[in-house]
Amino acid sequence: MKKCQQCDVQVNTHTDFCPLCNEPLIVISEFDTPPLYPVISEQKKKPGKLTFLAKVFLLVSIFTTATCLIVNLTVWRGVFWSLPVAGGIIVLWLLVGLPLRGGINLNYMLIAQMVGVQLYLLLIDSLFGAKGWAITYVNPFLYIAVAITISLFVVLYRVEWQNYLFTLVLMAAIGVCSFLNILFQWGRVPWPNMLAALTDVMIVFGLLIFAPDKLKKEIRKRLHL
Contact residues for other proteins (CB under 8 A)? 1, 4, 7-22, 34-42, 44, 103, 159, 162, 214, 217, 221-224
Shortest Cβ 160–other proteins spacing (Å): 9
Considering the complex, what minimum distance in angstroms separates the CB of residue 199 from other proteins? 24
**What distance in Å separates the CA atoms of residue 127 and residue 21, rounded to the nearest whole number?**
72
Of the pair 35, 129, the CB lying nearest other proteins is at 35
**How do strand 2-4 and strand 9-11 relate by DSSP bridges?**
antiparallel
Nearest-approach distance from CB 13 to other proteins, in angstroms: 5
Report yes or no: 111 and 177 within 8 Å, Cβ to Cβ.
Answer: no
CB-wise, 17 or 141, nearer to other proteins?
Answer: 17
Q: Where are the alpha helices (DSSP H) in the chain?
A: 49-74, 82-92, 98-101, 106-127, 133, 139-156, 161-174, 176-184, 191-210, 212-223
Nearer to other proteins, 55 or 217 (CB): 217
CA 167 to chain centre: 13
Residue 2 or 125: which CB sits closer to other proteins? 2
Least distance (Å) between residue 97 CB and other proteins? 19
Q: Which is nearer to other proteins, 72 or 162 (CB)?
A: 162
Residue 38 CB, nearest distance to other proteins (Å)?
5
Nearest to 178 by CA among 163, 192, 165: 192
